Amino acid sequence: MTPIRKLAFVVNEAKPGAAELARELLVVARGARVPLKHTKRFPVPKGWLRGCDACCVIGGDGTLLGVAREAAREQVPIIGVNRGSLGFLTTFSADEARAQFRDLLRGHFRIAHRAMLECSNGHGLPELALNDVLIKDKINSRLVRLEVFADGELVTNYTCDGLIFSTPTGSTAYNLSAGGPIIHPSASVIAMTPICPHTLSNRSIILRENVQLRVYNRSPGSTLLVAVDGQRNLRAANDAPTEISISKLRLPLVQRADYSHFAVVRSKLKWSGGFIDQR
């Protein structure tokens, strides 16, 4: 890989140890004479990453999600350093970042290109989601009736608390909590998972990469909320469908050379395929 010539830092100082770690890594980058820019603000404003070769995000997965849209639009690889809890997306620990940062600046890393969803609700430009798009009633306690079409063909009508449309990256987030499947990040699919459906036969559906989805509100008097990555809320138009597809853009995510998705799942979720003797 080409060495990093200009580096951006996004630091979530609300996370314990994030500010201190950022100061350490900034010293390393300045010692390597790498031009820098940094901010405590996220989501980052449009165009802020333009001209950067990489962006070091120090915080949790939510911090990284606040940078993902702009990083995908500008094709700036993200180096995620975890100072949060699980850290599925921020794959470097603080110790790994300290030990490997000089090598990262020299370009010694690999990049995974993660799929993103594109979501449009009839108002404004489409939104991008790295993890998921959630469709639900704007009042939390209300059931909704949602009609889903895939490439113009009726899938089914759901009576449920909402629907989650997840990328493979987001499959270990809300999708997993709602009973959806774990999907390898390199798979080219969308998972559609109903939340508390009012029938035992409803399960997740896995849809192909180039599917065009439309979701209609069939609940009289109900207004839908469309939540993008749990960070941006859109109000769906009652007279138009919410449209979801996989974006042409991919998020470039920096990974260690020995990165293993299943090792992360085993470590973060304490996931095992067999009996664990806890005696």
- Rounded CA separation 43/239 (Å): 30
Backbone angles phi, psi at 269, to 5 degrees: -100, 0
Of these residues, 53, 61, 161, 229, which one is catalytic?
Answer: 61
Give whole-number Cα distances, 38 to 8, 89, 143, 173, in Å. 5, 20, 43, 28
- Rounded CA separation 96/111 (Å): 17
53 among known catalytic residues? no
Cβ pair 105, 28 in contact under 8 A: yes
Residue 42 per-residue DSSP state: S
Catalytic residues: 61
